Structure 1
Amino acid sequence: MVRFTDDTDGGFHGPSLEEFFPPAIFFEGTPFELNRIMLIRILVTILLIVWLVIATRRMRIVPTRFQAANEFLLGFVRNNIVVETLGEKDGKRFMAPLMTMFFLILGLNLTGVIPFLNIAGTSVIGTPLVLAIVSYVMFIYAGIKKNGGRFFKNSLFPSGVPWFLYIIVTPIELISTFVLRPVTLTLRLLMNMVAGHMLLVLCFSATQFFFFTVLADGNLIGLLGIGSFAFGAVFTLFELLVAVLQAYVFTFLAAVYIQLALADEH
């Protein structure tokens, strides 16, 4: 019988939430303490800056393949998220932060399936929370800039509702508009990245256990590692899809919230 144990003798070790709180690597015990996840975030940020600088230099009328690929990526976000949701005029105002948000989330999500990194920079609450706060500030700013003080009145006291129903409607609007939006943005991104990481760790940890512990001892049950490896490969492809989808959903919802704030009445 195969026994899955937590001993230190080569037994099976399943995924743990401790992986999301790695030990410090640099500046331990200081406000500038850096662990593995923080270094991944810094690395992705630097790579994105370098990519955008290179991609926007020496643009040609007849684009090279590299320029065409970059124009496709940037155009996808511009046309399918920003302009599609906010329109041409308002889209230009919020193009830079929304474009940055999309590619930062995408880059941090993809680190979860990159060898030697193997964990998404968005799988700890700090980054999803900061991005949700940024989208929240943009949403509030857009509403106040467009409608002034009427923004809060229109949000909390929708027109066409009988006055006595405001006792019910106003608290619901307060919670759904000004509380749940940043919370749901944060948790949706965070939980998807955490769940994806746990699945991949489970599959590949099981593969290592079956091949290098069970099969190495001459037990043919170790061939089950073929199945766990296959599941891991499938989940890796699925995680790639989730990485792109979550970047799209987060940025799209941020744009939708801005669009709702720009509406005259909502």
Structure 2
Amino acid sequence: MISSVWTQVPAPPVPPGAPAEGFKAPGVEDFNIPPIFEGVPVLEWFDKPAIQMIIAALIVYGFFALATKKPSIVPGRLQFLAEKFQGVVRDQIARDNIGPEFRRYVPYLVALFAFILVNNVFGIFPFIQFPTFSHPGMAYALAMVTWVIYNYVGIRKQGFGGYVKLQTWPPGVPWAVRIVLTPIEFISNFILRPVTLSLRLFGNMLAGHLLLLVFIFGGEYMLTVADSLVLNILSPFAFLFAIVMTFFEAFIQVVQAYIFTILTASYIGASLADEH
């Protein structure tokens, strides 16, 4: 059976004459979206966030494919926008954090930045209004891709033993200190990096969207459900704050995409460095 879960549906209105219940603030349970195909084991993974990731990948591919379809010396608007986007990632993220070998990683970082940005913007996009990475599984999966890449490039350059030693055995540190630092460095570099990378993205998307829901549903409650003239009069201010917070959330969505990408570049750079 196909579930209708594409948009968040507010609670049904209270019948006339019925007593109004207290406002129930939105919580994390509002982010538990069931699979679209319920009762089909093979397709249980196919839910709204999965569809959004597919759509985001198609949008990113389509944009760069159209922008580079007919490149010219004097770029059109689409080519100019794509070149500017690529230039920001290349010059401000890849070059500054990876070093001399930065060029080979620019395509991945450009795609990563664009992919996260589109998925984040879904949180304020009409009729979707759900940030993909507010679903923790999606953020963990993306962080694991980064984890595989920076460990792979480090092992390929340093060798397995050399890379593990570089990541867990700080040079120039006394032996007594190394005994304490080695397990800390191992946990930090091989375990905590993908966890913190994903939690940062997930936490910000969840908190931002939850805040928007509080203002929107709160304003709706104050206007249509609350049996109070004062709350009815104040309800427009809740909607006004929701609009303000939408712009602020858009800013956070861009910042989080940038932070995830720049941390990915810094991890790659640290894996390629001979000593850090």
TM-score by length of 2: 0.87
1:83 aligns with 2:75: no
C-alpha displacement of 1:164: 2.1
- Give the whole-Å Cα distance in 2 for the aligned partners of 1:77 and 1:212: 47
Question: Is 1:101–1:131's contact at 8 Å kept on the other side of the alignment?
Answer: no
Question: Is 2:90–2:103's contact at 8 Å kept on the other side of the alignment?
Answer: no
Paired residue type of 2:256: Q
Instruction: Identify the residue that residue 3 of structure 1 maps to in structure 2.
Output: none
Instruction: Identify the residue that residue 147 of structure 1 maps to in structure 2.
Output: 158
Paired residue type of 2:186: L
C-alpha displacement of 1:161: 1.1
C-alpha displacement of 1:78: 1.6
Instruction: Identify the residue that residue 20 of structure 1 maps to in structure 2.
Output: 31
C-alpha displacement of 1:227: 1.5
- Aligned counterpart in structure 2 of residue 242 of structure 1, from 228, 252, 273: 252
1:103 aligns with 2:114: yes
CA RMSD of aligned residues (A): 1.9
C-alpha displacement of 1:27: 6.0
- Aligned counterpart in structure 2 of residue 66 of structure 1, from 61, 67, 78: 78
- Give the whole-Å Cα distance in 1 for the aligned partners of 2:149 and 2:75: 34
- Aligned counterpart in structure 2 of residue 156 of structure 1, from 153, 168, 173: 168
- Give the whole-Å Cα distance in 2 for the aligned partners of 1:66 and 1:154: 43
What number of residue pairs does the alignment pair up? Answer: 258
Moved more, 107-116 or 13-22: 13-22
- Give the whole-Å Cα distance in 1 for the aligned partners of 2:162 and 2:110: 29
The runs of 5 or more residues in structure 2 that have no matched partner are 1-10, 15-19
Q: Which ranges of 4 or more aligned residues in structure 1 deviate by more than 6 Å?
A: none
Moved more, 141-150 or 218-227: 218-227
Query: Map of 1:107-146 to 2, 5 A cutoff?
Result: 107-146=118-157
- Aligned counterpart in structure 2 of residue 223 of structure 1, from 220, 228, 233: 233
Instruction: Identify the residue that residue 255 of structure 1 maps to in structure 2.
Output: 265
The DSSP-based 3-state class of the residue aligned with 1:119 is coil
C-alpha displacement of 1:13: 3.8
- Give the whole-Å Cα distance in 2 for the aligned partners of 1:189 and 1:128: 7
- Give the whole-Å Cα distance in 1 for the aligned partners of 2:173 and 2:51: 51
Moved more, 227-236 or 42-51: 42-51
C-alpha displacement of 1:8: 6.7
- Give the whole-Å Cα distance in 2 for the aligned partners of 1:19 and 1:164: 50
Q: Structure 1 residues 218 and 15 mapped into 2: Cα distance closer, same or farther (>3 Å)?
A: closer
Give a deviation string over 1:58-84, Cα, whole Å, max 9, x none: 011111122212211121112111122
- Give the whole-Å Cα distance in 1 for the aligned partners of 2:269 and 2:52: 33
Question: Is 2:139–2:201's contact at 8 Å kept on the other side of the alignment?
Answer: yes
The runs of 5 or more residues in structure 1 that have no matched partner are 1-5
State, as a whole percentage, how many aligned pairs show the same letter: 37
